[in-house]
Amino acid sequence: MAETQVLFRVEEELLEALDRILPARGFKTRNEWFRAQIRDVIEEETRRKRVMSILDRLTVEGIEDEDIVRMVKEWRSRGPRR
C-alpha cells in the first residue's frame, strides 16, 4: 500500500502535552496515535452514513405526523391480536 506523508504545524506546548499522554494511551509514536485517530473518525463517519441511510428509507413522502398518530390510535383500538 502506498503511503503519503502529511505535515502540519502545532504549538510546541501542544506537542509536548501530546508526547506526555501518548504512552498512557497505549501509543508508542505520534504517527501510531494519529493513524488511530483518523481511523476512528472514518469509522464513525461510516456508521453515521449507514444510520442515515436506514433513516432515509424509513421516510415516507406524503405522510404527516397526524396521519401516523391516527394509524397508531386505530391499531390500539383494535386490541391485541391472537
Q: What is the pLDDT of residues 28-66, one digit of tens each?
A: 999 999 999 999 999 999 999 998 888 877 777 777 888
Please provide the DSSP assignment of the chain as one string: -----------HHHHHHHHHHTGGGT-SSHHHHHHHHHHHHHHHHHHHHHHHHHHHHH--TT--HHHHHHHHHHHHHH----
Structure-block grid coordinates of residue 32: 501510531
Q: Report the pLDDT value the prediction gives residue 82, as an integer from 0 to 100.
A: 59
Does the structure show a pLDDT above 70 at 2?
A: yes
Q: Report the pLDDT value the prediction gives residue 19, as an integer from 0 to 100.
A: 93
Confidence of residue 3 (pLDDT cuts 50, 70, 90): confident
